[in-house]
Amino acid sequence: MIEKAPEFIKHKEDFNAIIISKLYSSNLTNVEQSIDENYYYWDKIKYLKTNFGDSEYLWQITKMKRKFIEKKIFIKVHNNPKFNLSYNTNDFLQQKLHYLDFNFGAGIQKEQLLNDIDKHRYLTNALMEESIFSSMIEGATTTRIKAKEMLRKGKKPANKSEQMILNNYKTIQYISEHKYEDISIEKLFEIHRLVTENTLETENIGVFRNSNDVMVMNQITGEIVHIPPSFEELDELMKQFCDFFNNNPKDNFIHPIVKASILHFLIGYIHPFVDGNGRTARALFYWFLLKNGYWLTEYLSISRVILKTKTQYEKAYIYTEIDEMDVTYFIHYQVKVLIQAFEDLKSYIAKKKKEENKLSKYLKLPNINERQAQVLYWIEEDSNRFFTVKEIQTIFKITNQTARTDIEYLVEKGFLKKVSINNKSFNYWKGENFDTAFL
């Protein structure tokens, strides 16, 4: 259990002068800088040393500074405030948001980062990665290799874990097709249906929960960490959610990445469904960023980073709830996730660029196109790997006929061999002429 912070004292004359001087001072100590940059909660601040008082004193000053610049968001039910969120964007967070704006939304970066022949492959890989890791966050147990093989080859899921992954894959594809549209209750239900199909009782799919039996628990300790709002308030709360998603009042601008993070938090906090809330929340975070021009989101595996930092993910929720619904904790976490996902993408692309240099020997062969060269390279890297027409179609985003033509030409040249599975479908393995082609 995270220790609750000392009560914030709003009026305490003996340190008001210090607070005021700190609010307007640009000369932050290293300790204060670290608190602002990382947006620490009391459980971290209490261990920090400072020259102007004990840790509780430091917490009071930190809270006053945050309240001085905070903005409010009111979530209402029947025009009465149900709960109020607050957030603030200090200089450190604004710098990170600017970095993401420049790299995620600037059109020129797309051409510099991804060339035309690569982007389909990168996108397909990203969709698979996001689907796999979003499912693993919720307990899916499988390997990336096995899961990707299922998606590439169009195999039927063998178990619940694989079904979750396939569901997430279909959900992300649906969002990509509707990314510029507004959200609605009906679309929320459709997203939930997509992420939970064949993994949840039929009566609970694509509908809000109809009881208060749902509680969020720590899976290790069994401790209840959150009790969601009553199911009787869900219709109105989710209407407010959709309105918040769709509208951007000019007099109350919220940075899109900040707003996407708040939307993500709200689904987890409101917990409108019996199950699948986490997957739905991450899908809507993804949707909102795409809708607002952050095209690079589609190429990122955000959930892979979340899985690696799952404890921080859970703490970001808890910090928000126990610190007067200050959702800045969750915003800071999500921004860190996006930056790390972007760094991972750059590393992945650099690796693929090196691989492309190795394709040159295949491209020198007569009438071999870049897709076929890539297949030959994969065979060289793993001689036990085989392909299907459906897999080639999925990887390169081409028609079934084009995929068939590509792979049958490689069979004709003896680079691949065609093995019948059931007289209707075939696998394509390393052929007899593969090794001698480059002697």
Lowest-confidence pick of 8-12, 407-411, 414-418: 8-12
Q: Tell me, yes or no, whether 377 and 236 share the same domain.
A: no
Question: At 374, is the pLDDT very low, low, confident or very high (cuts 50, 70, 90)?
Answer: confident
pLDDT grade, residue 252 (50/70/90)? confident
Domain housing 398: 359-438
Residue 385 and residue 279 share a domain: no
User: How sure is the predictor about 108, in pLDDT bands with cuts at 50, 70 and 90?
Assistant: very low
Q: Is residue 75 part of a domain?
A: no
Q: Which of 212-226, 298-312, 319-333 has the lowest mean pLDDT?
A: 212-226
38 and 92 in a common domain: no
Of 289, 324, 350, which one is at a domain's C-terminal end? 350
The DSSP symbol for 387 reads B
Among 20, 25, 105, which residue's Cα sits nearest to residue 289?
Answer: 105
- Mean pLDDT of all residues in 263-270: 94
| Band (360; pLDDT cuts 50, 70, 90) | confident
Residue 21 pLDDT > 60: no
The pLDDT assigned to 115 comes to: 60
Q: What is the mean pLDDT of residues 287-315?
A: 89
At position 286, the amino acid (one-letter code) is Y
CA 195, chain centre distance (Å)? 14
Report the distance separating Cα 63 and Cα 55, nearest Å: 12
Express each pLDDT in 139-176 by its tens digit.
887 777 888 888 887 888 888 988 988 999 899 989 98
Same domain membership, residue 139 and residue 109: yes
Residue 85 phi/psi, 5-degree rounding, is -100, 150
pLDDT for the residue 194: 95
289: nearest Cα among 103, 95, 87, 39:
103
> 293 and 398 share a domain?
no
Is the pLDDT at 114 greater than 90? The verdict is no
- 410's CB contacts (< 8 A; 6+ apart) are 372, 375, 376, 416, 428, 431
307 domain residue, yes or no = yes
Residue pointed to by tokens 């039929």: 202
Here the CATH number for the domain that contains residue 322 is 1.10.3290.10
Question: Among 320, 350, 380, which residue terminates a domain?
Answer: 350
pLDDT tens-digit readout, 117-145: 466 667 778 888 888 888 888 888 777 78
Tell me the mean pLDDT in the region 314-326: 92
Q: What is the pLDDT of residue 117?
A: 47
More confident call, 262 vs 345 = 262
Would you place residue 106 in the very low, low, confident or very high pLDDT band (cuts 50, 70, 90)? low
pLDDT at 224: 73
Alpha-helical (H) ranges within 140-211 are 144-153, 160-178, 185-196
In a domain? residue 3: no
Query: 94 with 61, same domain?
Result: no
Query: Within a domain: residue 388?
Result: yes
Residue 340 has pLDDT above 80, yes or no: yes
Instruction: Please state, in angstroms and as integers, the Cα–Cα distance from residue 411 to each residue in 4, 308, 339, 427, following that order.
Output: 67, 42, 43, 11
Do 324 and 367 reside in the same domain of the chain? no
Point out which residues pair with 413 in neighbouring strands.
none
Tell me, yes or no, whether 333 lies in a domain.
yes
Give the total number of structural domains in the chain. Answer: 3
Lowest mean per-residue pLDDT among 32-41, 109-118, 273-282: 109-118
With 70 as the cut, is the pLDDT of residue 264 above it?
yes
CATH of the domain at 431: 1.10.10.10
- For 182, 243, 386, the CA distances from 246, given in Å and listed in that order, are 6, 5, 45
For residue 368, being part of any structural domain is answered with yes
Does 128 lie in the same domain as 264?
yes
Give the contacts of 294 (CB within 8 A, at least 6 positions apart): 100, 104, 105, 256, 257
Residue 143 shares a structural domain with residue 244: yes
Residues 403 and 346 grouped into a single domain: no
Residue 201 sits at φ, ψ, to 5 deg, of -55, 140
What is the reported pLDDT for 242? 95
